[in-house]
Amino acid sequence: MDLSLSDEQKQLQDAAERFVRDKYTFENRRKIVATEKGFLPENWAQMAELGWLGMSFSEADGGYGGGPIETMIVMEQFGKGLVLEPFLPTVVLGGGMIASAGTAAQKEAQLAPMIEGKKQLAFAWLERQSRYNLADVSLKATKEGNGWSLSGHKGVVYNAPSADTVIVLARTSGGAREEKGLTLFLVDGKAKGLTRRDYPTQDALRASELTFDKVSVDTDAVLGTVDTAFPTVEEAVDRAIVALCAEATGCMDAINAATLEYIKTRKQFGVPIGKFQVLQHRMVDCFTNAQEARSMTLMASLKIDDKDAIVRRKAASRAKVQIGKSGKFCGQSAVQMHGGMGVTDELAVSHYFKRLTMIDLMFGNQQHHLTRYSAPCWTPSRSWRSPPSGPSATKWPARPSR
């Protein structure tokens, strides 16, 4: 057991910290938000040059053989700066699914240019009725000649406006919400029959509603095998959750630091407001929450490569619950302690708060993951401990279920 970073990992952390410090001052970020794409292509190119776009992929896939810890390190720094470049949809989700399910030809065509920074990706799974159920998919793909035809709707697809390829989760068989019968397709962002409605999100990212009207793709557009995409998707989403948690940890550090600074300098009643115990204790609670978030993110990052799928799922859900809870606490507290200034657009604090809020809603909120985590099939068997001692052997009747 060893929880310290290696020298290479420390260097990566330094580089990511430097990147954020140089490129993401609050005023710079405002300018980037206002650009057409909502991120800077030159920043993306620099990330490619620094090797960040390929670091988590195996050398066989053209990457640098890193893993979840490396992703955690950069995402945490991205959170500190509220970085806008589409690392999560392109690298973690898109790249992750292609690496795990793609053929050699698909990797060659999609992953290699992505690692070089020449191709961006988006992942379209959500539909109007899906809420947080990854299998609640009704967009239909039907066999058509030598390929497939896709029709239906996808919502809140992050980075779709800039994506060269959209990875689409479609139903090829089975009924509503059945895990079996789902297939992933690689669809060109400019495919005929695909229309986009682009919009910004609350936290200044870019996303789209996508309408598929008989979009035709070849057989080789299928990522993985037909009807069996669910495990690939679930694993990729769990990895994305862990990366999001790292980003949230960075957000929390930054928002806590800003709040601490504010309550040390803002004076009311003749003293810095940080002299009031009620604010001190709330600040301590923020600090504790961020610590716990960091602990859970670290644990999830260490376990997300586990061979056992249940271990992976639990690690992701556990961290997401913690991040939802801690992020809400730190965000709401930061706004409150900033007073009126906290609810304006003028200071960074509200921007961190909005990002933390949206992170909780992505891929299942706190409640959803608590339910997922407590699913009975996952709890350890009851045989682990010896039977209780004592004279009474009466079986106590079970409580009537509600």
Partner 1 sequence: MDLAFTPEEQKFAADVRAFVKANLPADVRDKVKNGKHLGRDDYMRWQQALGKKGWLVYTWPKKYGGPGFTPAERYIFENICAEEYAPGIIPFGTKMVGPVIYTFGSDEQKAKYLPAIRESTVWWCQGYSEPGSGSDLASLRTKAEKDGDHYIVNGSKTWNTMGHWADWIFCLVRTDSRTKPQEGISFLLIDMKTPGITVKPIIMMDGGHEVNEVFFDNVKVPLANLVGKENEGWTCAKFLLANERLGIAAVPQSKRGVEALKEIARAEQDNGRPLIENQGFAEKIADLEIQVTALEYTELRVLSQMAHGGQPGPEVSGLKIRGSEIQQRITELTMEAIGEYSAPYLPGLLWHGTNEAPVGPDYAHLAAPRYFNTRKTTIYGGSNEIQKGIISKMVLGL
Partner 2 sequence: MDLALKPEHKAFADEVRAFARATLSPATRAKSFSGKHYDRDDHMAWQQALGSKGWLAYTWPKKYGGPGWDVTQRFLFENVLAEEGAPRIIPFGPKMVGPVIYTFGSDEQKQRFLPGIRASTVSWCQGYSEPGAGSDLANLRTRAVRDGDHYVVNGQKTWTSYAHWADWIFCLVRTDTEAKPQQGISFLLIDMKTPGVTVRPIIMLDGAHAVNDVFLDNVRVPVANRIGKENEGWTCAKFLLANERLGIAEVPASKRGVRSLRELNDDPSLNEKIADIDLQVQALEMSELRALSTMALGGAPGPEVSTLKVRGSEIQQRIAELAMEAVGEYAAPYQPDLLFRDTNETPVGPDHAPPAAPRYFNMRKTSIYGGSTEVQKNIVSKAILGL
* Chosen residue from 5, 60, 176, 310 binding partner 2 by CB under 8 A: 5
Report residue 215 as tokens: 């979009």
Q: Of partner 2, partner 1, none, which one sits near residue 284, judging by CB under 5 to 8 A according to partner kind?
A: partner 2
299 binds partner 2 (CB under 8 A): yes
The residue range among 120-128, 145-153, 242-250, 283-291 that interacts with partner 2, by the rule CB under 8 A, is 283-291
Minimum separation from the CB atom of position 204 to partner 1 (A) = 8
Q: Which two tokens stand for residue 9?
A: 């990992």
Decide which of partner 2, partner 1, none touches 274; Cβ closer than 5 to 8 Å per partner kind.
partner 2
Q: Which residue from 109, 114, 134 is spatially nearest to 229, judged by alpha carbons?
A: 134
Measuring CA to CA, how many Å separate 170 from each of 52, 220, 282?
30, 15, 46
Q: How far apart are CA 304 and CA 292, in angstroms?
A: 18
CB 84 within 8 A of CB 33: yes
Six token digits for residue 149:
């035809």
Interaction pattern, residues 360-389, with partner 2; x per rule: CB under 8 A: ----------xx-xx-x--xx-x-xxx-xx
Rounded to the nearest whole angstrom, what is the least distance from the CB of residue 245 to partner 2 in the complex? Answer: 12
SS3 206: strand
d(Cα 353, Cα 335) in Å, to the nearest integer?
8
Of 85, 93, 6, 2, the C-alpha closest to 50 is 85
Query: Any idea what the Cα angle at residue 57 is, between residues 54 and 62, rounded to 5°?
Result: 70
The backbone torsions φ and ψ at residue 61, rounded to the nearest 5 degrees and listed phi first, read -90, 10
402 near partner 2, judged by CB under 8 A: yes
Is 288 one of the binding residues for partner 2 (CB under 8 A)? yes
- Binding range to partner 2, per CB under 8 A, among 43-51, 174-182, 215-223, 317-325: 317-325
DSSP-derived secondary structure letter, 56: T
How many other CB atoms are found less than 10 A from the CB of residue 371? Answer: 13
Helix (H, G, I), strand (E, B) or coil at 288: helix
Q: Which does 296 bind (CB under 5 to 8 A by kind): partner 2, partner 1, none?
A: partner 2
Contact 191, 215 (CB under 8 A): yes
| 86 is a site residue for partner 2 (CB under 8 A) | no
Contacted entry of partner 2, partner 1, none for residue 311, CB cut-off 5 to 8 Å set by kind: none
* Span 184-213, contacts to partner 2 by CB under 8 A: none
Candidates 215-223, 273-281, 327-335, 348-356; binding stretch for partner 2 (CB under 8 A): 273-281
Task: Find tokens 């919400």 and name the residue.
Answer: 177
**Residue ranges binding partner 1 (CB under 8 A):** 126, 128-133, 136, 155-156, 176-177, 197, 199-204, 207, 209, 267-270, 273, 276, 278-279, 332, 335-336, 339-340, 342-346, 350-351, 353-354, 357-358, 361-362, 365, 367, 370-371
The contact set with partner 2 (CB under 8 A) reads 1-6, 9, 69, 260, 263-264, 274-275, 277, 279-281, 283-285, 287-288, 291-292, 294-296, 298-299, 302-303, 318, 321-322, 370-371, 373-374, 376, 379-380, 382, 384-386, 388-392, 394, 396, 398-399, 401-402
